[in-house]
Amino acid sequence: MINSSSDNVKKLNSINRRMFITGSLKFFIMVGIVSRLFFLQVKENKKYLTLSDKNRIREWKLAPVRGEFHDYFGNVIAGNFEAYQLHIIPEEVEDFRYVINRVKDLLELSDKEFNKILKKKNEIKSWETLIVADNLDWQKFSKINNHLYDLNGVKPVISISRNYPYKENFTHLIGYVSQANQNDIENTEAIKKNFVPGLKVGKVGLEKSLETKLLGTNDIERYEVNAYGRRISQLEFQKGEKGKTLKLTIDTEIQKLSNELLKDKAGSICVMDIYTGDVVAMHSSPSFDPNLFVFGISQDDWQLIRNNPMKPLVNKTLQGNYSPGSTIKPIVALSALENGIINTNFTVKCTGKTEMYGQTYHCWKKKGHGFVSLRNAMKQSCDTYFYEIARRLGVDKLSETAKKFGLGETAFGDLFSIEKKGLVPNTQWKKNALGKGWLLGETMITGIGQGYIQTTPIQLCLMTAQIANGGYKIYPQILADKENKINPSDKFEQLFEKSKNIKIIQDAMFGSTNEVMGTSYRSRIDNPKYQFAGKTGTSQVKKITERERELDLKTFEIPYEQRDHALYIAFGPYKNPRYALSIIVEHGGNGSTTAAPMAKKLFKLIIDRHKIRETMNKNKYLEI
C-alpha cells in the first residue's frame, strides 16, 4: 500500500515536470513567435513594405528630350520627333520563343531582321532591355498595342528621336546622334546618369561637343503591376527637363548655297562676320545625310560613304590641312611692311624664274611680269616678287606675323576635338621636328604658300577677316547666345600699331579682284553694294617636273588626284567691309577659274541677307 502510494507520487511528479517543461517550451516558443512577429511588423515594417512595393510598384525611366539646334533666324536645323519603339525584357517573359514569334508575325519581320533580333538577345543580359524595333510606323505600333493581352513582357514605347530637316547641309557642323555605346556611358557622366536603353547621343560635331547642354534629364514614371507584372495603374509621373535649345550664328540660306556651289566637289566654304567673329556659313563637301545614322546605318549606306574617294567623313573645314598657296601673300607683304623690309615703292624684276644656289624658282607666268611693285605683284600674283621679299624677311618674322593672324592654332579652341592646328614653320620648328637646319630656299617657297606651311579653311577665313577689319583680333563664334560664346570680348586687341600697312594690303587685294590684269578680275562685281576684294591661290599637291612644265597641260588633261587645289579668300563689301570668306576646292585647278566665281555668287546673297540679320539684332536689343 505504501509502495503503491509512493509510485503514484513519483508518477505525478514526473508528469508535472514534463508538463512544466512542455509548458515552458510552449511559452518560450510563443514568446519567440510574438517577438518575431513584433519585430517583423513593427521594427522591419519599412524594409518589407519597400520589398513589397518593389514587387508591386515599378519605376520606368524615359529617354530625355534632347535640346534643339536653331539657326540665327530661329529655323530648326536639328529637332525631334516621336518615334514608336518596341522593347522586351527577356527575364519578364514566360515563354520568350512564343512571344518573339508572335511579334515577328505582327510586325511582318523578315528572316534577316528576326535573326538579327535573336542575335542581339544573346548579346545582352536577361534583365536588360531588348529593342525589337526603334522606329515603327503608327499602323504596326497600334497592332502591337491591340495584342498586348497575348504579349507578356512586351512594352510599346513612345520615344523622342532626332531629325535633321536640312539633311546634308549641316552634317559636318552639327554632326549626328546614334545609340549610346559603352564608351559614351563611361566617359560622360550626364549620359551615365540619364541612360536608358535606346538613348541617342552625339557622336561627332556640335552634337558631341555640347552633349551635356543638349541631353536633358529623364521623365520618370512609377506604376503598379499585378502578380503577372502587367501594368494596372500609374501612380506618379516625374517630368524631366528638356535639354537646352542652342541658337547658332549660321544663316541656313547661305549654308545651302555653299552646299550647292560645292556639289560634286571636295572642298570647303567658310563665311565670317569680320567684327563679331560670327560664322555665317561653314560647309565641308562632300557631305551625307545624318538621318541615316539615327537608328543605325545600313551596311550598304555605310560602305557608300566610307569608300567615297572624296572622303565625306572628313570635315575639311576643320581637319583639312592645305598649303595656302598665294592666299598667304597678303600676310607675307604685311609682314615685310611691318618689319621695314620693303615699302610700296619697292620693285622686283620678274623674268619668269629666279636662280638661287643652283636651284630654279619659277613664277607661274613663264615670260615673267617685268618690273612689279607690291600692288602689281599682289594683283597679278607674281611669285618672283614674293620669293624676294620672303628671302629678305626671313621665315621667323613671317611665322610671327602669320600666327598673329590665327594661322598655326585652332580657331575654336577645344570646341571641336577634331580641329587641326595646321603648321606655321620656322627655324626652331624644323630643328626640333626634323633635326635639320633651315634652308634659304625653304623660306622662298614659304613666301608663296608652299613647302611645310599648312592651313585649314577656317584659319584662312579668320586671317582674311582680321585683314578686313583693320588688323584687330577676333574669335570665331558658332553659338549665338552670349553666355555660350568662346572668349567673348567687347574690347578689340589691335594686332599692329601701323594700321596704314593693313590699308595698303586691302587696296592691293581690291586691285587683284577689280582691276584689269587682276587674277580674279573676271569674278568682279561692279556694283559697290556687292563689290569685294580678294586673293586667289593655287596649291600644288605634287612637285611639277620640267617635262610637265614644258607640256603646260590644261587642268582637265591632268589626272584628278594630281591637279592643284584651288583657293580663294575675300572680304566685302569693299567700302564698308563686314564679311570675309575662304573657299577651297580640292584638285580644282586654280583659284581664279574655280574658286573665285563661287565668291561672286556668295557675296550677292551674303550682302542681301545682311539687312535681315541686322534687323534681327535690333529687335533683340529692343526686347532687352
Asked whether residue 462 carries a pLDDT value surpassing 50, the answer given is yes
Model pLDDT, residue 489 = 52
What average pLDDT is seen over the chain? 87
pTM: 0.84
The strand pairing partners of 473, in sequence order, are: 493
pLDDT in tens, 240-291: 899 999 999 999 999 999 999 999 999 999 999 999 999 999 999 999 999 9
So what's the pLDDT on residue 385? 97
CA torsion sign for 326, 330, 335, 336 is positive
pLDDT digits (tens, 9 = 90+) for 69-108: 999 999 999 999 888 888 887 877 888 888 888 888 888 8
List, for residues 309-363, the tens digit of each pLDDT value.
999 999 999 999 999 999 999 999 999 999 999 999 999 999 999 998 889 999 9
C-alpha cell of 254?
547661305
Where does the pLDDT of residue 621 fall: very low under 50, low under 70, confident under 90, or very high at 90 and above?
very low
pLDDT score of 205: 96
Predicted confidence (pLDDT) at residue 549 exceeds the cutoff of 60: no
pLDDT number for residue 413: 93
- Output 111 or 20, whichever has higher pLDDT: 111
Give the DSSP letter string of 558-587: S-GGGSPEEEEEEEESSSS--EEEEEEETT
**Lowest mean pLDDT, pick from 46-60, 202-216, 231-245:** 46-60
Give the pLDDT of residue 556.
55
Is the Cα dihedral 361, 367, 371, 372 positive or negative? negative
Q: How far is CA 76 from the centre of its chain?
A: 17
* Cα torsion through 457, 476, 416, 178, rounded to 10: -100
Please list the alpha-helical segments (H only) found in 365-518: 374-380, 383-393, 395-404, 427-434, 440-446, 457-468, 499-514
Q: What is the pLDDT of residue 29?
A: 78
With a cut of 70, say whether residue 5 has pLDDT above it.
no
Instruction: Give tens-digit pLDDT for 422-435.
Output: 999 999 999 999 99
Residue 323 to residue 455: CA distance in whole angstroms: 6
Return the pLDDT at 622: 35
pLDDT at 124: 76
Residue 615, CA atoms < 13 Å, CB-side half-sphere: 6
Q: What percent of the chain has pLDDT over 90?
A: 59
Handedness of CA 291, 82, 185, 89 (dihedral sign): negative
Beta bridge partners of 177: 202
Q: Is the pLDDT of residue 181 over 60?
A: yes
Q: How far apart are CA 167 and CA 288, in angstroms?
A: 7
Kindly tell me if the per-residue pLDDT of 578 is higher than 60.
Answer: yes
Entry field: residues in the chain: 624
Q: State how far the Cα of 49 lies from the Cα of 65, in Å rounded to an integer.
A: 33
Tell me the pLDDT tens digit for each residue of 114-146: 888 888 888 777 777 788 888 888 888 888 888
pLDDT of residue 624: 32
- For cell 582680321, the residue is 466
Say whether pLDDT at 20 is over 80.
no
pLDDT in tens, 372-422: 999 999 999 999 999 999 999 999 999 999 999 999 999 999 999 999 999
User: Helices in 124-181 by DSSP H: which ranges?
Assistant: 138-146, 171-174
Residue 52 has pLDDT above 70, yes or no: no
Q: Which helix (H) or strand (E) holds 592?
A: none
Tell me the average pLDDT across 150-167.
86
Calpha distance 376→118 (Å, rounded): 72
Element (H, E) at 254: helix 252-261
CA-to-CA dists, residue 438 to 251, 394, 441, 503, 539, angstroms: 45, 10, 9, 32, 22
Q: Which residues is 88 bridged to in the sheet?
A: 130, 154
Q: List the single range of 24-33, 148-157, 546-555 with lowest mean pLDDT.
A: 546-555
Whether residue 573 has a cis bond before it, omega within 30° of 0: yes
